[in-house]
Chains A and B, each alone.
Chain A
Amino acid sequence: MNLPGWTREPLVHFLVAGAALFALFLWQGEPADTASRTITVTREDRARLAIEWERTMQRPPTDAELDDQVERYLREEVLYREALRLGLDRDDPVVRKRMSNKMDFLAASMAEAAHASDETLAAWLAGHPQRYAEDTSYSFDQLYFAERAAAQRALAAPDGGEDISVPPTFEAASRSEVEARLGAGFVTRLDALKPDSTWQGPVPSGFGWHLVRLRQRSIGKVPPLANIRSAVEADWRSETQAARREEAYRILRDAYDVKIER
């Protein structure tokens, strides 16, 4: 689909969506008149209360339980209307703060709604390859020795080793798995070894010393976008959100003359 570039401008999205909302409110009017002293608990209201109950308990409320819910709902509605009548919603620092938070939230939610095209995500992926690269994997054998000297002595003719509950061989084990089993220090040392068929070491771990035969090390590749689309999209979205929030604020901010007196 080829749309002109201006259709992708956030400001245009703002304007179009805003106009639509404005028209909607104009056409529909306020949903309920909060200034009125008549409260109608409609069948829909009762149904909503009953559904909320049922969602929690997985069974419909009894008549008494539903009446109780309606009473609580009424109480809140009465107090809410009285509060509005007294103007309690105006000139309150917390209302100000809450509303500014909501604005922030709404701006960010633009990014939630925005559709991420393959090009957008491919560009994102190209910009942050290290985040998505698969773990480096290792295939190796290890022999364990509690003391360094024993490991050193065994290097000439490795065979056996001492007992430890760590697998003697690892086949294409991910970096995170080797780290979890033998510690980060061990993996760092492993990275310094040359993959070949000889026994090398001793390599220290949290348990003691190891002779290691590193058969293969495969540096993790960045998978194609199709395989990791949702992860890329989640990251793109969360960073785009932050950017949109800032962008939206900038648009608003630029419309103000700000004087700071000192």
Chain B
Amino acid sequence: MGRARKLVSGIAIVAVLGAGAYWLTRPKVIDPAEITAAEDEVALTEFPERVLFGDTHLHTDNSIDAFGFGVRLGPEEALKFARGDEVTSTTGIKAKLARPLDFLVIADHSDALGMTRRLYDAPRLAIRDKTLRRWRDMMHESPEESVRATSELIAAAGAGTLPAAMLDPSRRDENTAEIWGNQLKVLDRYYKPGKFTPIAGFEYTLQPDGNNLHRVVMFRDGIERTSKILPYPGLESTVDGLFDYMDGYEKATGGRVLAIPHNSNLSNGLMFELTDAGGGPMTAEYARRRAAREPVVEATQIKGDSEAHPFLSPNDEFADFGKKGWEIGNLTLSFAKKDSMLAGEYLREALKRGLSIEERTGANPYKFGMIGSTDSHTALATGDEDNFFGKHTGNEPNKDRAMTPQNLGTRVGRFGWNYLAGGYAAVWARANTRAEIFDAMMRREVYATTGPRMVVRFFGGFDFAADAFKGDWVRAGYKTGVPMGGELTDGGAKAPRFLVSALKDSEGAHLDRVQIIKGWVDASGATREKIYDVAWSDADKRRPVNGKVPAVGDTVNRAKATYTNTIGAAELRTVWTDPDYKPGQRAFYYVRVLEIPTPRWPLFDAVRFGFKLSPEAMADAVAQERAYSSPIWIGPAARKTAAR
């Protein structure tokens, strides 16, 4: 009896294997022609009419650290969740986005794509490397140990001490090809042009000495082109290598690709240097290459906010958002932060550096737009305070995550509550397709939000009417000016004029104020900045004091994690002319929109799970969420330079 059953089961096993082998030779790909046809059916509006919200930076179980941190959801679940389906998170919690996203870039780490999963699955004794073996054991011991192993792994990657076995290229390419290929197929399956757009990408994880120089690399194209290459690994490379790779892709396939730097706040001053990537003098050639390759930068995400820093902008009372815990050192905390490093880390300063480099070399390496994203490692693109699923699976909603130390491989300083809930990328595209979203990023017609879906418009020109908002002002903005991300050429004696409009999130908090932040190079060649409050709520009651609009107030109930829209305004807009403009000046202008104060996720957690935040965490439990537009630049007509 037993033998007969064994025989039957044996045959069944062989049959299953056979079927699998058969399948492997016939992968299921959606016909690219079918996708092109669907894309062609989507109507393009004359100019962008509705802003699209998405996440350009989501990790799934194919990321070496995400898997180690415990996530077991892959690209398919990630896409389902982003488009609005209910999924079950790794820790067993049912999760559904109250409002779906319009697009999603799955950006798993290219280094050792799928490696942790393989390490986890590898036979223990087959692992000769002591470190790898110990990490593997930790991963199997408990979720907590798994998180610790992954932290050590990230630290080792930063320190350049990863075991050689992890960097073996032949093994890597084989596995990477399989994972990448499967992912591209899944992306195409979920692509619904006009409705929901999955975009191919990966994260390039360059981090010398633990200094974060990561980029998300994002493709414009479908599987016909993207399947011709593999993601470019970052750990043993340079940024120039990445740019070479991008050039190679475009040349070989006719496709397009861009890179999005992120967490400059953890780069210890290296992200926006005054030199080129190798430490040599900044040349016009390098500056042009960098600007062309990196049209947008992530200004805000789970690991802090990189817009501005109080040390660099002492007059900016809103610059402290998302700084606590992140400003003490680099990504792995292998090196502490010095004040002198901050200028190379924050976007406002980088925009200023860009102007000054342009003045010197004729080219601006840091002419970038701004977006937000999550950098979530849970496969769940949650960006709101009341739905935060954690940086990684180890801190999906639970009662301890807010107050637990979250240090990557070290024993100092970062706690759960230091993490932000993450942001989203807002894109002014003419339709929801891969090409339109990509092209909008290339022309920087995008903005960052820290989660709320505020609608922000920003146009610059010289000839807007003072009562422009009475008419069809969006059309006027496009016809007689440039949208966010655009460039104006010095108009002689005329000062630049701006149309700015901010509409609150239809489901969110009222707006406190709209500011225009200007950076410029003064006559002596020094860079300067100034913040103008241009529109605010309750203007008759809130008169500026010493040039500053007083605080909007605070309706947050700390015991219940609630707020009311009894202060602030639903929409703020104005036509604003720079009162301090000097003809010929090289300058940029971007918009910052501030919401009224609302509870942050640690406060929601404290109420939901019934625990007390520490006094320090409580002091940071309420914040003003915000949006940053891409800048509009103005400068003298481009001059010819020797370097080209």
Q: Which A residues contact B (CB, under 8 angstroms)? A: 13-22, 49, 52-53, 55-59, 69, 72-73, 75-76, 79, 83, 86, 88-89, 92-95, 97-98, 101, 103, 105-107, 109-110, 112-113, 146, 163-166, 176-177, 179-186, 205-208, 230-231, 234, 237-238, 248, 251-252, 255-257
Q: A128 to nearest B CB, angstroms?
A: 13
Q: How far is the CA of A251 from the CA of B16 in the complex (A)?
A: 11
| Interchain CB contact under 8 A, A17 and B15 | yes
Q: A182-B506, A207-B504, A207-B571 known; A107 and B16 CB under 8 Å?
A: yes
Q: What is the CA–CA distance of A57 and B189 in the complex, to the nearest angstrom?
A: 27
Residue numbers in B under 8 Å from A58 (CB-CB): 229, 245, 248-249, 251-252
> Please, which residues of chain B bring their CB within 8 A of the CB of A72?
168-170
Whether a CB of chain A sits under 8 angstroms from the CB of B639 is: no
Cβ-defined contact, B23 with A113, below 8 A = yes
Chain B residues at the A interface, C-beta cutoff of 8 Å: 2, 5-6, 8-9, 11-24, 26, 28, 30, 34, 50, 76, 98-100, 120-126, 128, 136, 140, 168-171, 173-174, 177, 189-190, 192, 195, 228-233, 244-245, 248-249, 251-252, 453, 455, 457, 469, 501, 503-508, 570-571, 573
CB-nearest residue of chain B to A107: B16
Check A76 against B76 for contact (C-beta < 8 Å).
Answer: no
Counting chain A CB atoms within 10 Å of each CB, the highest count among B126, B189, B195 belongs to B126
In the complex, given contacts A110-B19, A165-B455, A231-B192, what are 7 additional A-B residue pairs having Cβ atoms less than 8 angstroms apart?
A: A17-B22, A52-B174, A56-B173, A69-B170, A83-B126, A165-B457, A181-B506
| Residue in A closest to B188 when the chains form the complex, CB atoms | A230
- Alpha-carbon gap, A92 to B123, bound state (A): 6
A112 touches B506 (CB 8 A): no
**Contacting pair B505 A206 (CB below 8 A):** yes
Counting from the closest, the 4 A-B pairs by CB-CB distance are A18-B15, A14-B15, A58-B248, A106-B20
* Contact, CB under 8 Å: B570 / A164: yes
A206 with B571: CB separation less than 8 A:
no
B170 to A95, Cβ gap below 8 A? no
Known contacts: A88-B123, A163-B571. The answer to whether A255 contacts B189 by CB under 8 A is no
Cβ of B472 to closest chain A Cβ, rounded Å: 11
20 contacts between A and B (CB under 8 A): A14-B12, A15-B11, A18-B11, A19-B14, A21-B21, A52-B170, A56-B232, A58-B249, A76-B168, A83-B126, A88-B126, A92-B125, A98-B121, A106-B17, A110-B16, A113-B23, A207-B506, A230-B189, A234-B190, A257-B2
Contact residue among B121, B190, B504 (Cβ-Cβ distance under 8 Å from A94): B121
- The residue that A109 contacts in the complex, of B5, B19, B30, B453, with Cβ under 8 A, is B19
CB proximity of A12 to chain B, nearest CB, Å? 9
**Cβ-defined contact, A113 with B19, below 8 A:** yes
Judging by beta carbons under 8 Å apart, are B248 and A95 in contact?
A: no
In the bound complex, do residue A57 and residue B19 qualify as a contact, i.e. CB atoms below 8 Å apart? no
Report whether B503 and A103 are in contact in the complex, using a CB–CB cutoff of 8 Å: no
Cα distance A166–B120 in the bound complex, in angstroms = 52
State A18–B570 Cα separation when bound (angstroms): 66
Q: How many Å from the CB of B46 to the closest CB on chain A?
A: 14
B19 and A17: CB pair below 8 A?
yes
Specify which of B12, B229, B508, B570 is in contact with A251 (CB 8 Å cutoff): B12
Q: Separation in Å of the B331 CB from the closest CB of chain A?
A: 25
- B244 nearest CB neighbor, chain A only: A57
Closest chain A residue to B9, Cβ basis? A255
Across the interface, which residues of B come within 8 angstroms of A79, CB to CB?
Answer: 128
- Least distance between B450 CB and chain A CB atoms (Å): 18
CA distance A176 to B97 in the complex (A): 14
Complex CA gap A256/B80 in Å reads 37
Cβ-neighbour of B18 out of A19, A55, A238, A257 (below 8 A): A19
CB distance from B414 to the nearest CB of A (A): 32
Contact partner of B16 among A56, A103, A164, A257, CB < 8 A? A103
Residues of A within 8 A of B20 (CB): 105-107, 109-110
Chain B, Cβ-Cβ closest to A105: B20
Q: In the assembly, what is the distance between CA of A83 and CA of B11, in Å?
A: 29
Contacts of A14 in B (CB 8 A): 11-12, 15-16, 18-19
* Closest A residue to B8 using CB positions: A255
B8:A164 contact, CB within 8 angstroms: no
Residues of A within 8 A of B76 (CB): 238
Cα distance A74–B358 in the bound complex, in angstroms:
50
**Which listed residue (B18, B30, B100, B573) contacts A165, Cβ 8 A?**
B573
Cα A31 to Cα B34 in complex, Å, equals 39
Asked if A21 and B123 sit within 8 Å, CB to CB, the answer is no
Chain A residues with Cβ below 8 Å from B9 are 252, 255-256
Interface centre among B22, B124, B469, B505 (most CB of A within 10 A): B22
- Give the distance to chain A from B428, nearest Cβ to Cβ, in Å: 13
A94–B120 contact, CB under 8 A? Answer: yes
Cross-interface CB contact of A22 among B14, B19, B30, cutoff 8 Å: B14
